Structures are given as structure tokens and as C-alpha cells.
Structure 1
Amino acid sequence: MNTMRTKTAKQNAITYGIVIIGFLIMQIISATGHMSSSLSGLLIPFCYYVILAVSLNLVVGILGELSLGHAGFMCVGAFSSVFFTKCMENVITNSLVRFIIALIIGALVAAVFGILIGIPVLRLKGDYLAIVTLAFGEIIKNLVNVLFIGKDSHGLHFSMKDTLSLGMEPDGQVIVNGPQGITGIPKDSTFVIGVVLVLITLFIVLRLINSRDGRAIQSIRDNRIAAESIGINVTKYKLMAFSVSAGLAGIGGALYAHNLSTLSATPKNFGYNMSIMILVYVVLGGIGNIRGSVIAPIVLNLVLDYFLRKLQMLGSNPVLQFLSDNRMLVYAIVLIVIMLFSWSPKMIEWRERVFHKNAKEEA
């Protein structure tokens, strides 16, 4: 037992170490003046993509359920945290304190939505669960687009029609302006805060996985009937994993939102493609492999968002132009190839034959 714990602690330390080493490398590159503006602009996205991938892997890899509504929880966390920031901008003048509170609010609101959605949804399995979570993400996005919220001396005013129907005083402030979203957001997100949030996310997820509750969650994934037969409360543990994953997605959304000056619920920001992109990170890094969910978003974004654009600047290559302009198509192809390689019976048979042969030769 102690050997297993020591091995787990070493593996977790390696995962934390990868994040810290990556942070130090970026800081050295920045300090020496070798960091371009395009790479600098990717530092905070690296952080929230890792947070989103790790949190989704808790549901997909550890719980064993397919969720396509992760962008919805990200959206909830983003808008609730920014709404708090705008309301408290003149009350809490310390930007760090205000941002920390906004992060906590974003996480809590997203977790509450995770519980509310999870209670009815987690009774479903497989494709049905995926379809319902996908619908949830789209519903959240569309609700935010028709929401108008204003603030004056009488308090908050809500409407789902337009700003005129808010009935505010002339000097009132419109905070959420329907499809136009929220404007004038303080850019409180920093790379240092992002890395700290990544480490906190890893700590929460890894501690949960290696705890008694985590082993119960994994037993549900492996065999639900056997788990129920030994007295494990399946609904409780599935809801736990789902709500923790949603809360962490809310943190990723808050970090994302505070890196923008204007936040709107567009399909590009919180639509179906965002959920699929996060799922691609999980699959590419390895389903259930938390360290892979740290590495995959960074690798994919470096390759497709940075190196390909750099190569394009050196020469007009039509292939590079196609890959850069059709990133989601590349993600889809990568997802299909990885799934076929991982789950196709022929590929499983081939891998077993090859690795078994190599193991015999080494022996």
C-alpha cells in the first residue's frame, strides 16, 4: 500500500513539475526579450485550456461519461464572475482581491448549475447523456444572448426584451446588454494567476482521484452494477464528479473572461465547437490521463496557433494556410484517428501483438 502511495505521489509530482518547468521556461524567454507578441498572447489561453481539459477529463476519463456541455459551464462561470466584477468595480478597488472573489463566484455558480443539471441528466448514459449536455450548453448560450441587466440606485433590473424595458434611472448602468454582452471588463487575468489556477485544479482533481471517493467514482466507471452491489451510492458520486468538473470549468471561464475587454456569448466563444475542442484535448492527451490533459492543449495550440502562423509568414504555403484556417477540421480528424487507434478491435489486436512481440524480444 505504501509503495502504491509513493508511486502515486511521484507521478503527481511529475505532473506538477511539468507545469512549473513550463512556467519558468516562459518567464525566462520573456525576461530575455525573446518572446514574440503572438506567443505572449497564448500564455493565458494555455492556462484556461488546461483547466478545461483537466476538468472535463474528470467526467470523461475518471467517471466514464461523455459530456458535450462543458462550454456551457465555462459560459456560466465567465458571465457570473464578470458580472460580479462590473458590479463591484468601484466598491472593491483592489483588482487582485476582486478577481479572486470573482473566481470563487464563477466556480460556485458553475458548480450549482452542475448539480442542477446533473440531478436529472446523470440518470442517462452514453449518447443520451451527450445529447442532453450538448443541449444544455446551447440553451445557456442562447439565454445569455437575450438577457439584459442594468443597475441604478434602486438596485438591479432584469429584462429579456431590450435595454429600454429595464426601466432604469437616466444615470443607470447597463451591465449585460443582450447579444452585445458585457463591455469594459478589467483585464485582471495574468499568466502567473493562470499557472496558480492550473496547479490548484490539478491538486483538486488528483486528490479526488486518489481518494476513497475517487476510487468509488472509478469503480462506477468500470462496473456500475458491481459498484451498486457493494453499497456505493452511484448517484452521489456521479453528481460529485460532475459538479466538481463544472466548478473547475467555471474557473476556466472566469480566467478566460477577464482576459477580454468585451464578453459575448457567441458560438465561437461558448458554442458546440468549444466543447468539441476541449474533448479533443482530453482524447489526444489520453482519456483518464490527467498529465496528458496538461500537455495536449499546449502542444495543439503551439502547433496550430503559433508555429503554423510563423511558417505562413515565411512563405505562402497553401497546405499551411489550409491547416491554419481549418483548425476545427484538423481537430476532428485527430479525434477520429485517435479514437480508431484506441478503440478499434483490429488496432487493439495489432497493438497487443506488436507490444507482446517486443516484450518477448527484450526478455
Structure 2
Amino acid sequence: MAKNKKTTIQDLANYANVSIGTIDRVLHNRGKVSLAKRKKVEEAIKKLDFNPNLLARTLALGRQFEVCSLFPEATNVHSYWALPKIGVDQGVEVYRDFGMELHTYEYSLFNESSFVKSADAILGKNPSGVILAPLFEKESLEFIAKLEERDIPYVFIDANIKNKKNLSYIGPDLEGSGYIAGKLLNSLLGPSDDILIVNMVKGFENSAHTALVENGFRNYFKEHGSRTRRSVNSITIPSTAETEVNRELTTYYIKNPGTKGVFVTNSRAHLISKYHALHELDIKVVGFDIVPGNVTELKKGNIDFIISQRPVFQGVTAVKALFDFFVYKKSPAAIQYVPLDIIIKENVDYYINFQ
């Protein structure tokens, strides 16, 4: 069987070369089944790692588990937000035979009203559970208040809102990831080299996760910057359009020619590094996530470090957390931090192949 694929009754029937009806009679110990066929079915159950007790339990519950996900839209198959969606799809596929169904909703990172529209659509479905990336804090708080009114369990991924009733947060230690980025960038710079933090987000004040990442980054330099003479500044660009990004960078670099390092707080570091390469600027870059644009720029030497936050794993784990809660009434750990992997051009292919 393929890795991560849940064994189905049909798989058992195919392996044992018997009918689905025979499988059913063996699993539920009813009707007549020859000893030879029973042995074949029992062998199939063992070889294919089938869990009849779990199936029986979910069937006994007599219900479907409808899960809704609400993530930022993946602008193309190579964008970051395509990755946690892949993880959720993989997780739901594992449990599909046990009554789990998925409904996918998205919102624009540059349009809060799109979040509200998708959130309202989810409430209209009254799902069994929700997997949410709460990147717009204000709108997310309003949404989860309505989920809690209906006793709908929800899981956060990628970004966390503290002191809420979410089953779990699955994602990076946001401040820790910024701190690591600071340490990495500092290792590349001299004591007088200035640093720029680039946030590409609409409404920085409503983006708590980005603020946490930036705060962690700044904390590193507060703790280790006593012997340096550098400045650490930040800009917020409310777009990922290259023309607008380039315009903002040009304006900033003209006024701040001492900038020698850039930290990008999302997966768009490749937009910054391509600008540097085009204008022949020797500026070090640290960013997040193994998306194709970042990998290309990393291999060219235009990005120095990428911090991977395992977005596919986040999606898979969120689904499992909900399923265990539905079936076993088992509450997951409130916080499940994912490992943060440091990727350089020399190990990126090994990492991608392993993943």
C-alpha cells in the first residue's frame, strides 16, 4: 500500500480475492464463511494493517464528520498556501472511509471581507470541525466566537491566537522562528551593517502572527546587539505584486544605503532577492518556506537561508487532531510546535527529496 493511504474494505477484498460481502461477514462475524476464505481475509487484515475496530467504532457513531478548512488562497500551485492544503487533503484521505469529508474555503490576504464571506459560508454548513489559519486577527476572533456558540471544535495552524478555546495550535513557535532568523542573518553581517525587515501583509496591526515573528527577530538583536552599530528597521508592503514591491524597495534603499541584510517574514523572499540580483545589490536575505521561487533563488545564491515550517505536516496533523477528538473524544496537546528546518543551497535538494 502507498504510504499514508488508509486501507479500505475494497483493498482487503482485492488482496484476499473475495467479495466485499465476504469481508463484511468476517469483520462482523456473521453469516457463513469458509475456513479458507476466513484465513485469506485475516491475512489481508494483517498484511494491509487494517483497523476493523476503528471502522466499527466510526460506523457505530452513525455520522459523517464534515471538516471545513479556511486558509489564505493559494494564488497558484507553487504558492505557500497550496502546501497546508495538500496536508489537509492527505489527512482527510486517510480517514475518508471512516466518514470524514472536507470542504475547502479560502480568503485573500489583502481583503478582510473575503475572510468574512468564507467564514459565513462555513457557518452555513454547520460543520463538525474547522481548521483555520487566523491571519486576520479581528475577523478570526469574530468567527471563532460564533464557532464556540455552536460548540464546533476548531484547530489553528500556522498562526495562533492565545487564550482561545481551540483544540490545538499546530505550527511554528512564531517568536522563536523570528529569533532564529535574526541569529542566521547576524552570522552573515558585519557590526555596522543595517537590517531591513519586510512584511508583505495588508494591515500589519491586524496581523498578530507577523508582529510576533518580527518581535522574535528584534529580540535576538536586543540580546546580542550591544557591540554593533547597526539599525534594524521594518517596512510593510500591502501587496505581493512585483511592481509595487520593487517601488517600495527602491524608495527605501535610496534613503538607507547602508542596508546589507533583509529578513522577509513570509514566503515571498524570492521577490526581494530577485530585485537585489537585478540591481546587483550585495544584500543578504533570510526568509521562510520551501516554495519553488525561494528554492530557485536559494540555488542561485540570492537567498542565504530558508526556514521551513513544514506546512504539509501542519495540515495532516490538524486533521488527525480533529478525527481523534470526534471518534475517541481525545483532546490533543494545546500547542504542537513543528520543527523549524534550516535550508541552504547545499542541502535543499536532499530536503525536498526527503519530504
TM-score normalised by the chain length of structure 2: 0.24
Choose between structure 1 and 2: higher strand proportion.
2
Larger C-alpha radius of gyration, 1 or 2? 2
Comparing both chains, which one has the higher relative contact order based on Cα–Cα distances under 8 Å and sequence gaps of 6 or more?
1
TM-score normalised by the chain length of structure 1: 0.23
Choose between structure 1 and 2: higher helix proportion.
1
